[in-house]
Amino acid sequence: MTETTDTKKWYVVRSVSGQENKIKSYIESDIKRLELEDYIDEVLVPTEKVIQIRNGKKVNKERVYFPGYIMVKANLSGEVPHIIKSINGVIGFLGEVKGGEPVPLRPSEVNRMLGKVDELSVKDDSVSIPFVIGETVKVIDGPFNGFNGTVEKINEEKRKLEVMVKIFGRKTPLELSYMQVEKV
């Protein structure tokens, strides 16, 4: 069985968009059920971490990096391609001609995609400063939600802005995080 491990290549499986993780688990459970673990090393849904604000709180979410695509490292011999194609939600392999063989990714493409995945998991929340002094921003979180103001100062280390907001006709400085404002 050693030959199967040497000939594994990365393929891209097209799937129903938005269902990638569900389809990944279908593929994995079918492989286990049919005892084809020797033929398939890894099923990967490339994702990136994004920060969203929900009800004033930062929420880390994983977003699928290539919607509608799942990477599979496999030796597609015998029935394996047909088994994967028959799984609910799988549209087919990327790059195959109708009735032809699935086309594996080139090593450079694999490294680029896996590098992107690694890079995204390693990269912390460091964000370049998305604002400039003098820019008008809208407060989207906190007690001054809905007010517009002008960026007066930027504190890079704390990732905070000093925004001058007109409240009842008087200019008032507010200290807000990058996440509490958006560009107008």
Q: Please check whether residue 129 lies inside any domain of the structure.
A: no
For residue 152, what is the domain's CATH number?
A: 2.30.30.30
Tokens of 111: 């490294």
Q: How many CA atoms lie within 13 A of 48 on its CB side?
A: 15
Taking only the tens of pLDDT, the chain with its 184 residues reads 444 445 789 999 999 988 999 999 999 999 899 998 999 999 999 887 777 777 777 788 888 888 899 999 999 888 888 899 999 999 988 876 666 678 888 888 887 777 765 555 555 445 567 789 999 999 998 888 999 999 999 988 888 999 999 988 899 999 998 889 988 8
pLDDT at 116: 63
**Per-residue pLDDT tens over the stretch 121-168:** 555 445 567 789 999 999 998 888 999 999 999 988 888 999 999 988
Shared domain check, 107 and 144: no
Which residues neighbour 85 within 8 Å (Cβ) at sequence distance 6 or greater?
92, 93
Q: Please check whether residue 84 lies inside any domain of the structure.
A: yes
> What average pLDDT does the chain have?
83
Domain that holds residue 75: 2-122
Cα dihedral sign, 120-140-164-134:
positive
Shared domain check, 74 and 20: yes
pLDDT at 120: 54
